[in-house]
Amino acid sequence: MEGLDERFRRQARNEALFREVNERIAQLGESAQAWSPGGVVEFLCECGVGDGCGERLRIPLHVYESVRTQDDRFVVRPGHETPELEHAVDWTDEYVIVDKVDAAEPVVADDPRGAPSA
């Protein structure tokens, strides 16, 4: 994994762990969405900085599902992007969808859904 500092590799691994937690939340998606105001679901920020920020994001389930179609995309709070590790591809006031730089893709490739990078 040339070109990626150890701290960014560790951060990318942390992000992959938070992605797994969010996958469990998504499995509850339809029922969670039914009682959620505005039809959104609360997910954890997948920033992976340190041990993770623990902040929650309110995201429509269909948006989360679209993020999950690529194994190198994650959802984070605005301002939680790490330019050395990812770049923003879409954003709102509530969340930012980020795409990993090429050097980080092998670190996050163990996608629970088996989604490919694009």
User: What residue numbers bound the domain in which 87 lies?
Assistant: 6-108
Residue type, position 44, single letter? L
42 domain-assigned: yes
Structural domains in the chain (count): 1
25 domain-assigned: yes
116 domain-assigned: no
80 domain-assigned: yes
114 domain-assigned: no
Q: Look at residue 24 in the predicted model and tell me its pLDDT.
A: 81
Rounded CA separation 36/106 (Å): 35
Q: Look at residue 36 in the predicted model and tell me its pLDDT.
A: 63
104 domain-assigned: yes
Q: Which residues contact 60 (CB under 8 A, 6 or more apart)?
A: 39, 40, 41
Please check whether residue 75 is in contact with residue 86, taking contact to mean a CB–CB distance below 8 angstroms: no
Please check whether residue 95 is in contact with residue 77, taking contact to mean a CB–CB distance below 8 angstroms: yes
Q: Look at residue 1 in the predicted model and tell me its pLDDT.
A: 45
Name the phi and psi angles at 94, rounded to 5: -95, -35
39 domain-assigned: yes
Tell me the sheet residues that pair with 74.
98
pLDDT, one tens digit for every residue, the chain (118 residues): 456 788 888 888 888 888 888 888 877 766 665 556 666 888 899 988 777 788 999 888 889 889 988 889 999 999 999 999 999 999 999 999 999 998 888 888 766 666 556 6
Name the phi and psi angles at 66, rounded to 5: -70, -35
62 domain-assigned: yes
Tell me the sheet residues that pair with 56.
44
HSE of 118 in the Cβ direction (CA atoms, 13 Å)? 9
